[in-house]
Amino acid sequence: MKRAGLKRRRVMASLVPAGAGIVVDVGADHGHVARALGAIATERMPNRMRRLPGDDEVAWVVADGLLPFRRVDVAVIGGMGALTIAGILERGPRPSVAVLHAQDDPPRLRLWLAEHGWRIEEEALAPEAGRYAEILRAVPGEETSAGLALELGPRLLEGTDPYLIPHLEQLAGWLREVVLATEGRAADKHARAAERLTYVEGALKRRR
Ligand SMILES: C[S@@+](CC[C@H](N)C(=O)[O-])C[C@H]1O[C@@H](n2cnc3c(N)ncnc32)[C@H](O)[C@@H]1O
């Protein structure tokens, strides 16, 4: 696998249930996840299909999201923005399981999933580019968590991911900077960052 994002892609592959049926890796890049899972690799732009020389293990399809498929059991959609992922899921067909990674705004993706009939079943972290990528597995159903627990990762906060404490510490450090930078300037942003910081510090205290 290509080094950048290697750990994250491994975690994504590990969250796909065994014997899952038709698995589609959307926007598959070099097809590493598709190859590891025996999945179908898709790419919207043919010039981005970076097939490896001599590789005929992976079936490549030029596709916008999941649109050409009649049925998809598992969709793997990573390295994209939350709204792009939401659009792909919305256009369907609706998979039975979705393994997702929003690189820009994981809270936004979780909120969207909860509002559109998805339950977050499992979550995991992977170090990537000096931060912790947030990966989740969603299934159709009702998500019962809400508020900051939902935004920050309900199954992460309940679980024992080995990267949870460093991830929360990093988040708290960044929120402290936002709180300081917005003091006396941007009241809404300041209040929101302060509320999140209190929540994250509370979660850390419960863990230590
Ligand atoms: C940054 S790469 C991510 C590669 C890989 N999935 C990963 O997790 O590292 C995003 C790829 O998704 C493709 N993409 C974006 N929207 C798509 C869509 N609607 N259907 C198929 N591919 C899409 C882009 O062309 C790009 O090649």
Looking at the structure, do residues 137 and 39 belong to the same domain, yes or no? Answer: yes
Looking at the structure, do residues 12 and 94 belong to the same domain, yes or no? Answer: yes
Distance CA 13, CA 26 (A): 13
Confidence of residue 3 (pLDDT cuts 50, 70, 90): low
If DSSP codes are grouped into helix, strand and coil, which group holds residue 5?
coil
Looking at the structure, do residues 49 and 124 belong to the same domain, yes or no? Answer: yes
Q: Give per-residue pLDDT as tens, 176-197.
A: 999 999 999 999 999 999 999 9
Question: Which residue, judged by its Cα, is nearest atom 22 of ligand 1?
Answer: 27
Please state the φ and ψ torsions of residue 125, each to the nearest 5 degrees: -115, 150
* Position 1 pLDDT exceeds 60: no
**CA angle at 135 for the pair 125 and 188, rounded to the nearest 5°:** 90
Distance CA 136, CA 156 (A): 9
The helix/strand count (H/E) of the chain reads as 8, 7
Ligand 1 and 128: CB distance under 6 A? no
Q: Which residues contact 129 (CB under 8 A, 6 or more apart)?
A: 4
Is-contact 62 42, C-beta < 8 A? yes
Q: What is the mean pLDDT of residues 121-143?
A: 97
Site to substitute for ligand 1 among 11, 44, 67, 135, most atoms within 8 A of C-beta? 44
* Position 54 pLDDT exceeds 90: no
Is residue 70 domain-resident? yes
The boundaries of the domain holding residue 111 are: 6-143
Nearest residue to 20 (alpha-carbon basis) of 33, 8, 32 = 33
Is residue 109 domain-resident? yes
- Number of the ligand 1 atom closest to the C-alpha atom of 9: 8
Looking at the structure, do residues 36 and 122 belong to the same domain, yes or no? Answer: yes
Domain count, the chain: 2
Beta bridge partners of 133: 126
Distance (angstroms) between ligand 1 centre and the Cα of 174 equals 28
Q: What is the mean pLDDT of residues 135-145?
A: 98
Distance (angstroms) between ligand 1 centre and the Cα of 71 equals 20
- Number of the ligand 1 atom closest to the C-alpha atom of 65: 20
Q: DSSP 3-state helix, strand, coil percentages of the chain (rounded to 5)? A: 45, 20, 35
| pLDDT at residue 57, rounded to an integer | 77
Ligand 1 and 123: CB distance under 6 A? no
Is residue 102 domain-resident? yes
Looking at the structure, do residues 135 and 34 belong to the same domain, yes or no? Answer: yes
Looking at the structure, do residues 100 and 200 belong to the same domain, yes or no? Answer: no
Looking at the structure, do residues 139 and 171 belong to the same domain, yes or no? Answer: no
Query: Percentage of residues in the chain with pLDDT exceeding 90?
Result: 84
Tokens representing 18 are 């065994």
Is residue 82 domain-resident? yes
* Position 127 pLDDT exceeds 90: yes
Is-contact 121 155, C-beta < 8 A? yes
Is residue 149 domain-resident? no
Looking at the structure, do residues 82 and 175 belong to the same domain, yes or no? Answer: no
What CATH number should be reported for the domain holding residue 19? 3.40.50.150
Ligand 1 and 42: CB distance under 6 A? yes
- Number of the ligand 1 atom closest to the C-alpha atom of 64: 20
| pLDDT at residue 80, rounded to an integer | 97
**CA angle at 18 for the pair 39 and 60, rounded to the nearest 5°:** 0
Distance (angstroms) between ligand 1 centre and the Cα of 181 equals 34
| pLDDT at residue 45, rounded to an integer | 85
* Position 30 pLDDT exceeds 90: no
Is residue 158 domain-resident? no
Distance (angstroms) between ligand 1 centre and the Cα of 103 equals 11
| pLDDT at residue 4, rounded to an integer | 75
Is-contact 101 138, C-beta < 8 A? no
Looking at the structure, do residues 206 and 116 belong to the same domain, yes or no? Answer: no
Looking at the structure, do residues 183 and 137 belong to the same domain, yes or no? Answer: no
Q: Give per-residue pLDDT as tens, 72-124.
A: 999 999 999 999 999 999 999 999 999 999 999 999 999 999 999 999 999 99
Distance (angstroms) between ligand 1 centre and the Cα of 177 equals 32
| pLDDT at residue 2, rounded to an integer | 54
Average pLDDT, the chain: 94
* Position 132 pLDDT exceeds 60: yes
Q: Give per-residue pLDDT as tens, 148-176.
A: 999 999 999 999 999 999 999 999 999 99
Is residue 136 domain-resident? yes
